[in-house]
Structures are given as C-alpha cells and as structure tokens.
Amino acid sequence: MTDTPTPSGFRCGMIAIVGRPNVGKSTLMNALVGQKISITSRKAQTTRHRITGIHTFEDAQFIFVDTPGFQTQHSTALNRSLNRAVTSTLTSVDAVLFVIEAGRFGPDDQKVLDLIPDSAPLLLIVNKLDRVADKKTLYPFLQKMGALREFKEIVPLSAKRQEDVEHLLKTVKPYLPEGEPIYGEDDLTDRSERFLAAEILREKVFRWTGDELPYTSTVLIDKFETEGRLRRVFATILVERDAHKAMIIGHKGAKLKQISTEARLDMEKLFDGPVYLETFIKVKSGWADNEAGLRAYGYE
C-alpha cells in the first residue's frame, strides 16, 4: 500500500474470469493486467490454479481472478481440484466475466454457465472476434446468447486488441464497489515469484510437447534463491511415465534445452533480472489422481 490518499469515489473489486478450457481466459487476463502472469497454451487444462492479476489506475483497482477451465471430461483428483477452484472463486467476487468464443457455444459452455450463481453481476465476454470471417453472423449469435441468461453486459472483443481491452475495463469499472485499494499500486499479482517460475516452466513444457504429452505433468520448484538481482531456480518437471520423460528430453536433450531456455528468458523478463535455471525430470506414476499428493504439490 502507498501513503498517498485514495481519491474520492475510488473503486476496488474482484472480477472472476470463467469459461470452458481454451476460450482465451488466460490471454484475456494477461491483457487486462498488462503483463504476462497467467500461462497460455493451446493445450486444455493449462491454467490449474486460481491466479490473481492486479491492475491499478488513479481511480480504480481491478483484481482479476483467472480460474481453471471447468473440467467436464474426466473425474481424476486433479480435475476435481480444478473444479473446486472455479466454484470457490465464484462465491467471493464482485463481477463475473463469462468468456466464450465468438460464433461457438456448446454443451461445455452451457455447463459452466449453469454453475455461475446469480449473486454477482454477470458479463458475457465474446472472445476471439478476430477469428470470425463473416461478421454478419455475429449479430444473430449475440442475440441468441443474450436470450440464455440476464447478462449485465455483452462485450464482443479480441483479447489481442488493446482498444477492446480498454473498452472492457471501462465497462467493468461501474460494477466495482467504492473502497480503498487492497494491493499496492505497482503490484501485478498476489502470487510469489517461486509460483510464477513454476508456471512459466510448465507453459513451455506444454508448448513444446504439443499434444504428445498428457496433461498429467506439472512443475515443482525445489529451490528458489535470490542474490541481489539474480534468481537461482532449481525445478523438477513431474511426469507419469518414462515415455513422457523421453518426450520432454527430446533427441540428444534438444527439447529440454529449448524448454529451459525459453522459460529462463521469460523469467528474466518478468523478474527484471538475470536467472539461473536448472531443470530436472522425475517420473512419479499416479500423481494426478492422489488427493494427498496434489495438496503437497500446491493444488487446492
């Protein structure tokens, strides 16, 4: 918190970002915060934790909560944990952004919509507008969506367009209650650097293994040390089978080197300083379906 007085009429509140997997929630979150704090990937189930992103202006503080996409396909302990993270978030926010893809609304979207309580103002965010080839189809689609539920606002946008993101911020602001800021004006997230380092490395694993590696892989930070501006990070990539380990290592270790290099560069950009990263791979069968193990690895 800063010592400067809060201006009269200052607004501060929490906004949940929800939707099925792969509708662009994390990309939207990063755009709204103005910094990459939530990992993105084409792979489903990329976001596994409730991640808070903060953007503070002179007259408002937006606290965005990026949630895992609600899981409807599997019933492992991991998926039950992800779903709990979604439902617990929805009970404690001031507004909900329900994100769908422009021109697409299926059973999985409906399942998520059915889970959203009436307690907080609900805004429909129609994302990936840039992918709609025939814009004439958009109006009837928006009309159809508007009939599903009483949305306070319907906002078509592309999370990649700065003008669209700024328009969304202006649209959300009136739904935030008046009050003091909760975080400092320079805070971007409530997550630790250790957590963010694990997320960055996990993103690179997903990006470089494509659809080959099952979603049952995660990253553990064994040691995180700070010496001045230097961060020393020792991390373990946890997988379920030896074959998965081989996928990550790649031919003569090339893929693991690429994953580690890209992760280190992203960490250096986020932490604004040099990073020494050492990465290991460990095989642990059944880790994703073990409730006690999941809690040990940081899942709620």
Residue 192: which pLDDT band, with cuts at 50, 70 and 90? confident
Q: pTM value?
A: 0.68
Supply the pLDDT for residue 154. Answer: 96
Most confident of 107-121, 197-211, 252-266: 252-266
The more confidently predicted of residues 215 and 266 is 266
3-state secondary structure the chain: CCCCCCCCCCEEEEEEEECCCCCCHHHHHHHHHCCCCCCCCCCCCCCCCCEEEEEECCCEEEEEEECCCCCCCCCCHHHHHHHHHHHHHHCCCCEEEEEEECCECCHHHHHHHHHCCCCCCEEEEEECHHHCCCHHHHHHHHHHHHCCCCCCEEEECCCCCHHHHHHHHHHHHHHCCECCCCCCCCCCECCCHHHHHHHHHHHHHHHHHCCCCCCCCEEEEEEEEEECCEEEEEEEEEECCHHHHHHHHCHHHHHHHHHHHHHHHHHHHHHCCCEEEEEEEEECCCHHHCHHHHHHCCCC
The more confidently predicted of residues 195 and 230 is 230
Question: Is the pLDDT at 205 greater than 50, yes or no?
Answer: yes
Supply the pLDDT for residue 189. Answer: 82
Residue 39: which pLDDT band, with cuts at 50, 70 and 90? low
Q: Tens of pLDDT along 216-248? A: 678 888 999 999 999 999 999 988 888 888 888
- Mean of the per-residue pLDDT values of the chain: 82
Domains and CATH numbers, the chain: 11-175 (3.40.50.300), 193-296 (3.30.300.20)
Q: Tens of pLDDT along 119-147? A: 889 999 999 999 988 888 999 999 999 99
Question: Is the pLDDT at 115 greater than 60, yes or no?
Answer: yes
Residue 35: which pLDDT band, with cuts at 50, 70 and 90? confident
